[in-house]
Amino acid sequence: MSYFMGLDISTTSAKALIMDDAGKVIAVKGSPQPISQPKPLWSEQNPQDWWDGMVVAIKGAIAEAGISGSDIAALGLTGQMHGLVMLGADGQVLRPSILWNDQRTQAQCDAMTEAVGFERLIELTGNRALTGFTAPKILWVRDNEPDVYARCEHILLPKDYIRYELTGEYATDLAGASGTSLLDVANRQWSQTVIDALDIPASWLPKVHEGPQVTGTISARTAELTGLKAGTPVVGGGGDQAAGAVGMGCVQPDIIGLTVGTSGVVFAPLAEYAYEPEGRLHAFCHAVPGQWHFMGVMLSAAGSLQWYKDTFAPDMGFDALLQESVDVPAGSDGLYFLPYLTGERTPHPDPLARGAFVGMTTRHTRGHMTRAVLEGVAYGLKDSFTLIDRVGLPEQFEVRISGGGAKSAIWQQIICDVIGAPLANISTTEGGAYGSAILAAVGQGVYPTVQEACKAFIQTEGGTQTSADTSVYAEKYGIYQELYPTLKDVFHKLS
Q: What is the pLDDT of residues 217-233, one digit of tens each?
A: 999 999 999 999 999 99
CATH of the domain at 312: 3.30.420.40
Shared domain check, 49 and 105 = yes
pLDDT > 90? residue 385: yes
Answer with the one of 215, 238, 261 that is the final residue of a domain: 238
pLDDT > 90? residue 145: yes
Gap between the Cα atoms of 188 and 152, Å rounded:
25
pLDDT attached to residue 446 = 94
Shared domain check, 371 and 398 = yes
pLDDT bucket at 472, cuts 50 / 70 / 90:
very high
Residues linked to residue 358 through DSSP beta bridges, in sequence order: 336
pLDDT > 80? residue 146: yes
pLDDT bucket at 427, cuts 50 / 70 / 90:
confident
Residue 243 lies in a domain: no
Shared domain check, 155 and 57 = yes
pLDDT attached to residue 112 = 98
**What is the mean predicted confidence (pLDDT) over 266-286?**
96
Shared domain check, 466 and 368 = yes
Kindly report which listed range (263-267, 461-465, 474-478) carries the lowest average pLDDT score.
461-465
Mean per-residue pLDDT of the chain = 96
pLDDT bucket at 394, cuts 50 / 70 / 90:
confident
Are 469 and 417 in contact by the 8 Å Cβ rule? The answer is yes
Shared domain check, 125 and 100 = yes
Are 388 and 296 in contact by the 8 Å Cβ rule? The answer is yes
pLDDT > 90? residue 82: yes
Cα angle 207-98-96, degrees, rounded to a multiple of 5: 95
pLDDT attached to residue 376 = 98
Shared domain check, 155 and 34 = yes
Shared domain check, 268 and 182 = no
pLDDT attached to residue 429 = 79
Shared domain check, 254 and 159 = no
pLDDT, tens only, 10-32: 999 999 999 999 999 999 999 99
Q: What DSSP character marks residue 36?
A: B
Between β-strands 72-79 and 3-9, what pairing exists: parallel, antiparallel or unpaired? Answer: parallel
pLDDT attached to residue 391 = 82
Are 374 and 325 in contact by the 8 Å Cβ rule? The answer is yes
Residue 346 lies in a domain: yes
**What is the mean predicted confidence (pLDDT) over 317-329?**
96
Kindly report which listed range (46-50, 183-187, 388-392) carries the lowest average pLDDT score.
388-392
460-464, strands of its sheet edge to edge: 282-285, 292-298, 264-270, 255-260, 398-402, 423-426, 460-464
pLDDT attached to residue 430 = 84
Shared domain check, 295 and 403 = yes
**What is the mean predicted confidence (pLDDT) over 169-196?**
98
Between β-strands 398-402 and 255-260, what pairing exists: parallel, antiparallel or unpaired? Answer: parallel
Catalytic residue among 8, 240, 383, 417: 240
Domain that holds residue 348: 249-495
The answer to whether the bond into 34 is cis (omega within 30° of 0) is no
Residue 240 falls in the annotated catalytic set = yes
Phi, psi angle pair for 108, to nearest 5°: -70, -35
pLDDT, tens only, 112-135: 999 999 999 999 999 999 999 999
Shared domain check, 337 and 191 = no
pLDDT attached to residue 1 = 81
Shared domain check, 342 and 308 = yes
Rounded to two decimals, what is the model's pTM? Answer: 0.94
pLDDT bucket at 48, cuts 50 / 70 / 90:
very high
**What is the mean predicted confidence (pLDDT) over 158-167?**
98
Amino acid at the residue 380: G
Shared domain check, 434 and 347 = yes
Number of domains making up the chain: 2
Gap between the Cα atoms of 358 and 342, Å rounded:
18
pLDDT > 90? residue 431: no
**What is the mean predicted confidence (pLDDT) over 309-333?**
97
Closest CA to 86 of 198, 196, 161, 195: 161
Residue 244 lies in a domain: no
| Contacts of 468 by beta carbon, 8 Å cutoff, 6+ apart | none
pLDDT bucket at 215, cuts 50 / 70 / 90:
very high
Gap between the Cα atoms of 449 and 288, Å rounded:
9
Answer with the one of 217, 238, 259 that is the final residue of a domain: 238
pLDDT, tens only, 397-406: 999 999 889 8
Answer with the one of 238, 264, 281 that is the final residue of a domain: 238
